[in-house]
């Protein structure tokens, strides 16, 4: 079905057909129909089960989730909330104000509310902040038969049933056993005989970016989360990590452009201005700093007017080179590819890139400068300035994000401003400074 056919089906098909067919439709496809047909949205959702609505809320953007939930009666809201996993509810509560959060908590059972409050006590960008507490745990002394009987009796809607977590009486994590191993062994086999002890639990306070990096590196499907005493707290699944990767990538892209990750295309004019104006003011200050350098050499520019023509080229090329390095380094920091072991090697590599690319571009611009002015010294001055600025650009593109990371400042947020300042200020200084030194050869 295309979107229009799906809309008509959800609106007009017999209820029994919807119940049967909708299980084969991905919730995000239904969400698209709801978004594009706001006047029909309530009628459509009113014909869906609480389980499907919970899945739709999970797929929705943060600013949509609560709005979808409150469309329904209190009783139906309670049923929807019961269908949502603990990590989904924690994410939802994390974006609500106190009144809305308390209202949502009141719709949960006492046990669920207590569990969610505990999850909310963890930092939202850590492993514990994104984990789910729906999982199956078994004891080492259980047999395969006892385990299967336990699984058959378990009515919880667990996040994952492919791996069973083996714990002791104090909930200390001993290992995991796959469902495959359970169903392929004899009934009297002890879990202790088929347990896998080579596991990679994640500490509860690990940053979510590091969690995502581990999933990407090792290809995990699920990973257990433990506290400082190796007690099992919850699990993180691959779908949670995919969302983290998307959110972190969006955040970095926004911040590299000096735009907060909270800004959306659908935001209001006032909101967008409020988000962007402070960074534009900071950029203005750095531009004034670069202009002040130009002002120092006003006399030189008055004598050789062609310098003004080539100034933006030197600064612009330096800015582009710096941005290239900055993009690679910020990504390397985010993915954990840059460490103290390889930092010196990477720095020398980027400096080498600056020398080689700077020399190539410097030679080209030197030839163009000579052709423009018919003056060899003019070509040499602009060529050397270009080489120096390209080296500074690549080195600063490396050093700035590394230093900011060490100072616990998000490199994606502030790096571009500092790197641009370096390339503009030093680019003008090198070019006009060299021109001043050799002014007698230029006029």
Query: What CATH number does the domain containing 280 carry?
Result: 1.10.357.20
Q: Give strand ranges (E) for 25-136.
A: none
* 97 and 8 co-located in one domain: yes
Q: How far is CA 42 from the centre of its chain?
A: 32
DSSP annotation of 407 reads T
pLDDT in tens, the chain (443 residues): 788 889 999 999 998 888 888 888 888 999 999 988 889 988 999 999 998 999 999 888 877 888 899 899 989 999 999 888 888 888 888 888 888 888 889 888 888 888 888 888 888 889 998 888 888 889 988 999 999 988 888 755 555 667 899 998 888 999 999 888 998 999 999 999 999 988 889 999 998 888 888 888 788 888 999 999 999 999 998 887 887 777 766 666 666 665 656 556 656 778 778 777 877 788 888 889 888 999 999 999 999 998 999 999 999 999 999 989 988 898 888 777 787 788 899 999 999 999 999 999 999 999 999 999 999 999 999 999 999 999 999 999 999 999 988 887 778 767 888 898 889 999 999 999 999 999 998 88
Instruction: Report if residue 243 sits inside a domain.
Output: no
- DSSP calls for 254-290: HHHTT--TT--TTS-HHHHHHHHHHHHHHHHHHHHHH
* Domain-located, residue 249: no
Say whether both 411 and 281 belong to one domain: yes
Whether residues 192 and 338 fall in one domain? no
Number of Cβ within a 10 Å radius of residue 101: 18
Sheet with 222-226, edge to edge strand ranges: 202-203, 222-226, 232-237
Distance CA 98, CA 418 (A): 38
Output the CA–CA distances (angstroms, integers) from residue 340 to 46, 62, 395, 406, in the order listed: 56, 37, 17, 11
- pLDDT, position 296: 92
- For residues 32 and 11, state if they share a domain: yes
Question: Taking the mean position of all CA atoms in its chain, how far away is CA 370?
Answer: 47
Residues 212 and 360 in one domain: no
Of 96, 127, 158, the residue that ends a domain is 127
Whole-model pTM: value is 0.62
Tally of domains within the chain:
3
* CA-closest candidate to residue 438, choices 302, 304, 294, 292: 304
Q: Which of 421, 242, 261 is nearest to 326 (CA)?
A: 421
Give the integer Cα–Cα distance in Å for 432 and 421. 16
- Whichever domain contains 193, its CATH number is 3.10.580.10
- Domain end position, chosen among 185, 214, 236: 236
Indicate whether 316 and 421 sit together in one domain: yes
Residue ending a domain, among 236, 256, 281, is 236
- Cβ-proximal residues to 83 (8 Å cutoff; 6+ apart), any chain: 50, 51, 53, 54, 157
Structural domain containing residue 393: 269-442
- Angstrom distance (rounded) from CA 117 to CA 269: 36
């Amino acid at each position: 079905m295309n979107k229009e056919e799906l809309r008509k089906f959800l609106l007009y098909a017999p209820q029994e057909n919807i119940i049967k067919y909708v299980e084969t439709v991905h919730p995000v496809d239904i969400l698209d129909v709801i978004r594009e047909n706001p006047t029909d949205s309530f009628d459509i959702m009113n014909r869906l089960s609480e389980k499907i609505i919970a899945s739709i809320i999970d797929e929705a953007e943060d600013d949509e989730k609560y709005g979808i939930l409150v469309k329904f009666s209190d009783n139906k809201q309670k049923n929807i909330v019961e269908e949502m996993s603990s990590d989904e509810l924690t994410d939802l509560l994390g974006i609500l104000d106190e009144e809305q959060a308390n209202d949502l908590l009141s719709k949960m059972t006492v046990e669920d509310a207590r569990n969610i409050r505990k999850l909310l006590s963890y930092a939202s960008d850590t492993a514990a902040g994104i984990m789910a507490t729906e999982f199956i745990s078994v004891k080492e002394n259980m047999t395969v038969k006892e385990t299967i009987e336990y699984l058959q009796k378990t009515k919880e809607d667990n996040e994952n049933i492919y791996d069973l977590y083996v714990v002791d009486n104090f909930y200390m994590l001993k290992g995991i056993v796959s469902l495959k191993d359970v169903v392929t062994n004899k009934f009297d086999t002890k879990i202790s005989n088929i347990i896998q002890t080579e596991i990679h639990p994640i500490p509860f306070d690990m940053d979510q970016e590091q969690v995502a990096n581990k999933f990407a590196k090792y290809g995990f499907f699920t990973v257990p989360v433990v506290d400082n005493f190796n007690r099992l707290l919850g699990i993180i699944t691959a779908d949670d990590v995919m969302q983290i990767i998307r959110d972190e990538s969006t955040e970095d892209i926004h911040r590299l452009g000096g735009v907060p990750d909270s800004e959306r295309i659908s935001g209001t004019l006032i909101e967008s201005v409020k988000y962007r104006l402070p960074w534009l003011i900071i950029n203005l200050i750095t531009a004034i700093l670069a202009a002040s350098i130009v002002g120092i050499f006003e006399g030189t520019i008055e004598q050789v007017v062609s310098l003004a023509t080539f100034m933006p080229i030197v600064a612009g090329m330096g800015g582009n080179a710096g941005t290239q390095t900055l993009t690679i380094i910020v990504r390397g920091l985010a993915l954990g590819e840059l460490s103290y072991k390889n930092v010196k090697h990477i720095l020398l590599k980027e400096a080498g890139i600056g020398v080689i690319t700077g020399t190539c571009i410097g030679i080209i611009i030197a030839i163009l400068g000579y052709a423009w002015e018919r003056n060899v010294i003019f070509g040499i001055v602009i060529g050397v300035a270009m080489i120096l600025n390209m080296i500074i650009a690549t080195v600063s593109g490396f050093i700035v994000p590394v230093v900011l990371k060490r100072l616990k400042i998000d490199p994606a947020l502030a790096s571009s401003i500092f790197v641009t300042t370096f390339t503009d200020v030093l680019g003008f200084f090198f070019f006009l400074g060299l021109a001043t030194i050799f002014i007698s050869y230029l006029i």
